[in-house]
Amino acid sequence: MRLSDYFLPTLKENPSEAQIVSHRLMLRAGMVRQSSAGIYSWLPMGLRVLRKVEGIVRDEMDAAGCQEILMPAIQPAELWQESGRYEDYGKEMLRITDRHERAMLFGPTHEEVVTDIFRSSVRSYRDLPKNLYQIQWKFRDEVRPRFGVMRGREFFMKDNYSFDLDYAGALRSYNRMFVAYLRTFARLGLTPIPMQADSGAIGGDLSHEFIVLAETGESAVYCDRAWLETDPLELEIDYDADLQPIVDRWTQLYAATDDKHDPATCKVAPDRLFEGRGIEVGHIFYFGTKYSASMGAVVRDENGKDTAVEMGSYGIGVSRLVGAIIEASHDDAGIVWPEAVAPFRVGMINLRSGDEACDRACEALYGALAQADVAVLYDDRDERAGVKFAEMDLIGLPWQIVVGPRGVKTGSVELKERGSGEREELSSEAVLARLT
């Protein structure tokens, strides 16, 4: 992509409304634009990252044996009256009336809709287990939307729903999601800390929040320091095997107490206790028959008896993750994208656009990288070098190639790694070899 063609409305100044670094950088890097309180448009650069995050989340859900569906954003109020949550949900629910005076709502979550789908189509225990998920926009009329996409009113969520015949099966489903979440967040370059949680408006009695470390985070976390050195991607995961030992190992590393906000009740020894703050990027729930019993989602068991299915639901804040990744990975100059979610892998700066030799070197490298399927953002604009350097650091692509008149004469360009700041003078061929 040529920067001269790209829609990248960057800001030079810090926007005054942004209180935290990710919000500031997302606005400054032209990723999103606020439409109204807590509601954002995603511009090309932001959308590329959102899609990358979504892709990794989808990949891990598929690997864990879940099946993707897409439910409606607008839901009928009746389903929520059946489950008993219509009144309970209160002002966070955006209620809508259609032209026939029917009460509708913009879905804040989808337990009711998925339970309705299930009860109308599944009859026998032989059809279990099932785990369905979607990646979709939700609306919650938060009292205080803030921190940009981190606490929006409209936000992008991956939500799964599991259906099992009995508690043992439901626990297997829960553990699968627990492990899939560890993998998902690790692949996004984050260190997830699972904390035992309250199940709040979703209900139920087994629940974990997945929190990634960030000083500005709204959640308090504490865990064993060993936790921070454990990489879930090193585990061989067989989703058909018993995952309880892995879940146990992970939950042992942090405090399993009723009061998650009180490190005093924590079982970790004081010298190994890590206390910090973080952002909740995922939340999983086992809630048994809470929805299936009230909504009549039953299957016939082995003895021909109707039994309400055991359910769980599992959420990942996909749009929140974009902010969380920036909170976890930035410096004074801007964003530092982990390779897995970078909007482009390489940013190429032409220091002297219009100079024949520089243009020729850039075009050749740009073409060769495209051939090799490397996504490049090529700054071909007629701008001052300082402006180009600052913007490239701001948008945080993992690799920068700088092509200038001096190097071109001797056949070399500069390769800079955004994260470490390390620079090397290399031939174009060597750069190509390095990046492919």
For ligand P5A, give the closer residue by CB, 282 or 288: 282
Beta partners for residue 157, in sequence order = 136, 317
Closest CB 156 distance from ligand P5A, rounded Å: 8
For ligand P5A, give the closer residue by CB, 268 or 281: 281
Q: Measured between alpha carbons, how far is 52 from 54 in angstroms, rounded to an integer?
A: 5
Which of 158, 180, 170, 83 has the alpha carbon at shortest distance from 130? 170
DSSP class per residue in 295-345: HT-EEE-TTS-EEEPEEEEEEEEHHHHHHHHHHHSEETTEE---GGG-S-S
For ligand P5A, give the closer residue by CB, 292 or 319: 319
Q: Measured between alpha carbons, how far is 244 from 165 in angstroms, rounded to an integer?
A: 19
Closest CB 418 distance from ligand P5A, rounded Å: 27
Q: Measured between alpha carbons, how far is 26 from 395 in angstroms, rounded to an integer?
A: 9
Nearest position to ligand P5A, beta carbon: 317
Q: Coil, helix or strand for 418? A: coil
Closest CB 23 distance from ligand P5A, rounded Å: 12
Closest CB 181 distance from ligand P5A, rounded Å: 10
For ligand P5A, give the closer residue by CB, 94 or 375: 94
Closest CB 196 distance from ligand P5A, rounded Å: 14
Please give the structure tokens belonging to residue 96.
């809508």
For ligand P5A, give the closer residue by CB, 28 or 208: 208
Which of 347, 360, 335 has the alpha carbon at shortest distance from 416? 347
**Residues making up the chain, counted from first to last:** 436
DSSP state of 254: B
For ligand P5A, give the closer residue by CB, 181 or 344: 181
* Strands 412-417, 423-427: pairing kind: antiparallel
For ligand P5A, give the closer residue by CB, 40 or 378: 40
For ligand P5A, give the closer residue by CB, 143 or 269: 143
For ligand P5A, give the closer residue by CB, 54 or 159: 159
Which of 326, 324, 318, 327 has the alpha carbon at shortest distance from 395? 326
Closest CB 282 distance from ligand P5A, rounded Å: 5
Q: Which residues of 95-105 are buried (b: 16+ CB within 10 A; e: fewer)?
A: eeeeeeeeebb
Closest CB 89 distance from ligand P5A, rounded Å: 11
For 121, other C-beta atoms within 10 Å of its C-beta total 9
For 254, other C-beta atoms within 10 Å of its C-beta total 24
Closest CB 179 distance from ligand P5A, rounded Å: 17
Closest CB 155 distance from ligand P5A, rounded Å: 4
Binding stretches for ligand P5A (CB under 6 A): 109, 140, 142, 151-152, 155, 157, 159, 202, 280-283, 285, 313-315, 317, 319-320
Q: Which residues of 350-379 are buried (b: 16+ CB within 10 A; e: fewer)?
A: bbbbebeebbebbeebbebbeeeebebbbb
Closest CB 154 distance from ligand P5A, rounded Å: 8
For ligand P5A, give the closer residue by CB, 151 or 176: 151
